[in-house]
Amino acid sequence: MNPVVVGASNSIYGNGCQFILRTLSLFSLTGWQNSMLKIFQQWLDRYFSNEEALLLLLLLAAALLAILTMGQVLAPMMAAMVIAFLMQGMVTRLRQWGMGHNLAVTIAFVVLLVSLGALLLFIMPIMWNQLVRFFNELPRMVIEGQELLMGLPERYPQFLSERQLEQLFASMTAEISGMGQRVLSFSVTNIPMLIGLMIYLILVPILVFFFLKDSSLIMAWCARFLPHHRPVMAKVWQEMNQQFANYVRGKVIEIVIVGAVSYVAFICLGLNYAALLAIAVGLSVVIPFIGAAVVTLPVALVAYFQWGWSAPFIYLMLAYTIIQVLDGNVLVPLLFSEAVNLHPVAIILAVLVFGGLWGFWGVFFAIPLATLVKAILYAWPIAVQEASLVQEREKTCEAAE
């Protein structure tokens, strides 16, 4: 690293700490306040005594600010970066098999186009048709449910009255009717949204191709603006890349496997809206614990209104339970043996925070983002301490010479 930059950074850090200490010394501090001041000083020395750590903090803050302020503008770029990141493993594997870089990128890009074409031409039309059928049948399901539940006030009058039940069904019917009209109707106001979607469908694959093809050039260009000697950033990037890649790629594989197995099971048992419900079950694995609990309700309701309390309903729920058990106890340990394990409280907090910030996509990427934060928090103090030790050794060697 440039000695001038190092000296300037250390000077800035030292002057900043001295300014804070002098400002606080103007006030009469008690013993407890002095202890807190020493703890704060030790915390600063541990995490921000290295100039590279300060630079990394500024880069993270700038990236977060850009996402918060220009998230919609940068959405195609971020989507392309995530897809290219996911497909980088395929390119690396193809190159290990002896293929050239351009050939490996071309094959990966063709796989992406075929997958996108299958999604748009086959999966989406089936899902849309089943969604339209579902909303057409939903009023009938509501009426049957109303007839089924109208006997509850007679059995449990202390908990639920007939008037309360009628108000509940009236509000549900109005909400369902509004949702159905929004799904079934199409107007001129939807044209800008469709144009934006078409632009995304063209722009994102092109960006993915260039990110895959020129990834080394892009990384080298970005590295020009960073210090040549960057052990802290290298440690954080290594930890983040490993954990983030393992989680995202594993989660995509889990979505495909769980969705496909659910679709086969639903088709074999003759469940209505099999494709729609299978996609919902597959996407539910994105949010552990919460997703499975939420998607169980529509699966059970559709099966009940189709068969009632009969043997096919029991077989369907048994098959669905087996899928969930195998997913949690067999598939997840196989796919995420090297991924960061997050506590359920951390998962729920991540879903609430990132979902509140960015809506659906915040919920979708809540776990990877939480994994990223955890990787940075774990790697940061270790990398800073190692970098500080290296700098002290270099200074000792220079002084000895």
Q: Is the pLDDT of residue 9 over 90?
A: no
Residue-wise pLDDT for 273-292, tens only, equals 899 999 999 988 877 777 88
Is 24 contained in some domain? no
Name the residue type at position 101.
Answer: H
* Position 64 in a domain: no
Q: What is the pTM of this model?
A: 0.68
Q: Does the pLDDT at position 317 exceed 90?
A: yes
The pLDDT assigned to 399 comes to 62
Residues 221 and 83 grouped into a single domain: yes
- In order of 255, 259, 367, the CA distances from 252 in angstroms are 5, 11, 13
What does the pLDDT read at residue 45? Answer: 64
pLDDT in tens, 370-388: 877 776 776 666 655 555 5
Q: Determine the average pLDDT of the residues in 33-51.
A: 66
Q: 63 lies in a domain?
A: no
Q: Do residues 208 and 295 both lie within one domain?
A: no
**Residue 5: pLDDT over 50:** no
Which of 279 and 166 is assigned the larger pLDDT?
Answer: 279
Asked whether residue 198 carries a pLDDT value surpassing 60, the answer given is yes
Residues 183 and 273 in one domain: no
How many angstroms separate the CA atoms of 179 and 175, rounded? 6
Domain boundary among 180, 208, 227: 227
Query: Which domain-ending residue is among 227, 248, 265?
Result: 227
**83-120: per-residue pLDDT in tens?**
888 788 888 889 999 888 889 999 999 999 998 888 88
The pLDDT tens digits of the residues spanning 181-194 come to 665 555 545 666 67
Q: Is the same domain home to 287 and 146?
A: no
Could you tell me if 182 and 300 lie in one domain?
no
248 in the same domain as 163: no
Domain assignment present for 173:
yes
- The answer to whether the Cα torsion of 18, 23, 26, 29 is positive or negative is negative
Residue 275 lies in a domain: yes
Mean predicted lDDT score pLDDT of the chain: 76
Same domain flag for 128 and 217? yes
- Asked, for residue 15, whether it belongs to a domain, the answer is no
How many distinct structural domains can be found in the chain?
2
Q: Identify which has the larger pLDDT, 256 or 48.
A: 256
In a domain, 291, yes or no: yes
**Whether residue 386 sits in one domain with residue 250:** yes
Q: Does 77 share its domain with 218?
A: yes
Q: Are residues 91 and 176 both part of a single domain?
A: yes
Domain interval for residue 248: 229-401
Q: ∠ CA 15-19-25 to the nearest 5 degrees?
A: 145
Say whether both 175 and 252 belong to one domain. Answer: no
Q: Are residues 204 and 244 in the same domain?
A: no
